[in-house]
Amino acid sequence: MTNPFSLEGKVALVTGANTGLGQGIAVALAAAGADIAGAGIVPADETGEKVRALGRRFVNIDANLISVEPVARVVAEAIEGLGRLDILVNNAGLIRRADAVDFSEKDWDDVMNVNIKSAFFMSQAAGKHFIAQGGGKIINIASMLSFQGGVRVPSYTASKSGIAGITRLLANEWADKGVNINAIAPGYMATDNTAQLRADEDRSKAILDRIPAGRWGKPEDLGGTAVFLASRAADYVNGAVIPVDGGWLAR
């Protein structure tokens, strides 16, 4: 029996692959056998080096997801650059922090454009390709704030709640067409987005005290879940939002 977790011969497009969770996911998919296209406003050169060191191909695609330029071009460039597309990971994310009473319209729009609008239209563009070829995998990156309200991050909370919703919607529409759409909800991860929280000793301690695993997550902690959802092993998994949180939601 062939390995159901193998991604040999597959191509994955990962948005926001230059650092953090996106880099961790891209490298994990490459280690499982996939070639990688990294899309974002910042070139993912370091990620490309890590992917190529695993013997896989890598291409950079310039994409400004704040402005939500036509994302069909990004999907087309991934296919042109690597010959096919089998997996989309909507990882690119943005967070802005302020009290709700003071939150600006620009901070609302920028976060919503990157986190939910671009994810939907990227899924739409990839989905058309996947439906035509008879199958594909879409993995959205949700959050603990897909389940909870959070504090001082109104647009981030709205966008990540929306990610859970469109994951289920697209699964309802496309599961019978061979397209699997699921989401990973990372817990508190040591990335640029949480730098302010980790620098606040009291807030960081309060977070760690609630996590049964007793530590902040690392980008590589998402790798196994991403490989599973991208592989044949997850062919009957549809519309799921899977927490990878060290037990945060269990408390």
Q: Which parts of 63-129 are beta strand (E)?
A: 87-90
Angle at 72 between CA 134 and CA 104, to 5 degrees: 125
CA distances in angstroms from 215 to 119, 167, 209, listed in the order given: 29, 28, 9
Is residue 156 annotated as part of the catalytic site, yes or no?
yes
The Cα 212–Cα 195 span in angstroms is: 21
Tell me which residue of 28, 21, 39, 26 sits closest to 6, measured CA to CA: 28
Residues ≥6 apart with Cβ < 8 Å to 99: 152
The Cα 122–Cα 119 span in angstroms is: 5
- Are 217 and 187 within 8 A, CB to CB? yes
Out of 58, 121, 130, 156, the active site residue is 156
Catalytic (active-site) positions: 156
